[in-house]
Amino acid sequence: MRDSLTVNSSAVPPPVARRGRISWSAYLYLLPSLVFMVAFSLWPALEAAYQSLFRLNLLNPDHSFIGLGNYIALASQPLFWQVLRNTFVFSLGTMPISVALALVFALLLNRRLPLIGLYRTAIFYPAVLPMISAAAIWSFLYVPSYGLIDRFLTSFGGAQINWLGDASTALLAVIVTTIWKQAGYYMIFFLAGLQGISAEVLEAAELDGANLFESLRSITLPLLMPTTVFVTTVSLIASVQAVDQVYLMTQGGPDNSTNTFLYFLFQTAFTNWDTGQAAALTVILLLALFLMSWLNYRSLDRFTHYE
C-alpha cells in the first residue's frame, strides 16, 4: 500500500520549454484570456487614467486638459474625505467579521453529519441572492416601528430605532446586511480548504496530545492560509465595491453617512455628469486596490505554509 504522504513519482511532468526555444503553444493557450483581460480590464483602466486628466463634464462643452486638476478638486472636497472614511469603516466592519464568521462556520460544518448539507445550504443561500434582493429584504426588516427588527426589540421593551434613517446606525445596518450576504460565500472556500487538509496530519497531532485550539492554531490555520489570503483579498475588494445595498437602502444618506466609494463614483458619473472626476476616482480606486492586494499577500505570506 502506498504511503500517502510520499510523492507519486510515476506522475508525468508537463512539457517544459527547452532553453532558448519559445513555447508558442503556451502563449496560444493564454491568448483568449489575455484578449479579454486587455479588452475589459487593462484598456478601460488606461482609458480612465487618460480621461481623468481632462475636464469632462457632460453638461459643459469645454473639454480641456487640466492635468491633475480633477484630483485636486476631489481632494479639496470634504465629501470625498467623508466617503473615504465611510468606505474605510465599512471595510473594517465587513471584512474581518465576514471572514471570521466564514471560518467558524466552515470549521463547524466540516464533518459528515446527517443534515450537514442542509446547514451548509442555509448558510450559503444568501450568497445566491442578488445583492439588491438582499437589500430589499433587509430594508423591510429595518423599517422603523413595525419592521421585524424593531418589533422584536420592542417586544423586549427596547427602543424603536430608525435604523436606516439615523446617521449613527445607517452604516452599521448596511454593514450587517453585507456580512449576512457574504459570510456564506466565503465559507465555501474555507470548506474546500479544510477538505484539502490531510486527516493524517490532524490525527498525528491528536496522538501527540494537542487539544482542539492547539491543532487549530498550529496545523489547520497555517495550512489554510492560502485560502485565507485569497478570501481576505476578495472580501477587501468586495467591500470597496459595495454599491447595490447603499443604492437601495439609503441612497448614500442620511446626509452622506453611508456614501461609500463606489456609490460616490456613481453619483459623480451619473448624477453630476462629471466624467473627468469619475475617471479620477476610478484611478484612485485601482491604485488603492493594487496596493491593498499586494500588502495583503505580503503580510499574510509569512504565515503561509505552501506545499
Partner 1 sequence: MLDSLTPRGVASFSRRRMLALGVLGAASAALAACSSAPAASPTAASANAPAAPSATAAPASAAPTTAAAPTSAPSAAPTVAPAATTVPASGTTAQLTFFYPVGVAGPLSKLIDGMAAKFNQTQNGAIKVTPVYSGDYIQTLSKAQTALQGGKPPDVAVINAAAIYTLQDMNAVIPLDDLIKSSNANVADDFFPAFLANSKLGSSIYGIPFQRSTLVLYYNPDLQNKLGLGTKAPQTWDEVVSFGTKLTDRQGSTVNRWGVGFPSSGSSYWEFQALAIEAGQNVMGDVGNKAYFNTDASITALQWLIDLSQKNKIMNSGTIDWGNLPTDFAGEKTALIYHSTGSLSFIAKQAKFTVGVAFNPKQKQFGSPTGGGNLYIFKGIPAANQEPAWKFTQFMSTPETLAQWSIDTGYVAPRKSCYDVASYKDYTTKFPQALVARDQLQYAQNELGTHQMAQVQTILSNAIQAALTMKQSPKDALTAAQTQTDQLLANFKD
- Residue 104 CB, nearest distance to partner 1 (Å)? 18
The footprint of partner 1 on residues 84-103 (CB under 8 A) is: none
Dihedrals φ, ψ of 54, to 5°?
-120, 155
The footprint of partner 1 on residues 240-259 (CB under 8 A) is: 240-241, 244, 247-248, 250-251, 253-257
The footprint of partner 1 on residues 265-284 (CB under 8 A) is: 267, 270-273
Q: Map residue 274 onto helix, strand or coil.
A: strand
- Residue 193 CB, nearest distance to partner 1 (Å)? 4
* Contact yes or no for 150/143 (Cβ under 8 A): yes
Cα gap 267→93, rounded to integer Å: 23
Residue type, 66: I
Helices (H), the chain: 24-37, 43-51, 69-75, 78-109, 116-128, 131-142, 148-155, 167-195, 199-207, 212-215, 221-240, 244-249, 261-270, 275-301
Q: Is the Cβ of residue 6 or residue 211 nearer to partner 1 in the bound state?
A: 6
Is 144 a binding residue for partner 1 by CB under 8 A? The answer is yes
Is 301 a binding residue for partner 1 by CB under 8 A? The answer is yes
Dihedrals φ, ψ of 303, to 5°?
-95, -5
- Residue 195 CB, nearest distance to partner 1 (Å)? 7
Q: Is 222 exposed, middle or buried (0-12, 13-18, 19+ CB in 10 A)?
A: middle
What does DSSP assign to residue 197?
A: S
The footprint of partner 1 on residues 179-218 (CB under 8 A) is: 182, 185-186, 188-189, 191-198, 200
Among 56, 103, 149, 223, binds partner 1 (CB under 8 A): 223
Sketch the per residue contact string, 154 through 173, with partner 1: x for CB under 8 A, - otherwise.
x--x-xx-x-xxxx------
**In degrees, to the nearest 5, what angle opens at C-alpha 276 toward C-alphas 271 and 281?**
80
- Residue 217 CB, nearest distance to partner 1 (Å)? 18
The footprint of partner 1 on residues 123-142 (CB under 8 A) is: 127-128, 130-133, 136
Q: Which residues pair with 78 in a beta bridge?
A: none
Q: Is the Cβ of residue 12 or residue 22 nearer to partner 1 in the bound state?
A: 12
- Residue 53 CB, nearest distance to partner 1 (Å)? 20
Q: Is the Cβ of residue 47 or residue 206 nearer to partner 1 in the bound state?
A: 47
Centroid of chain to Cα 163 = 24
Among 29, 50, 81, 146, binds partner 1 (CB under 8 A): 146
The footprint of partner 1 on residues 2-21 (CB under 8 A) is: 4-9, 11-14
Is 70 a binding residue for partner 1 by CB under 8 A? The answer is no
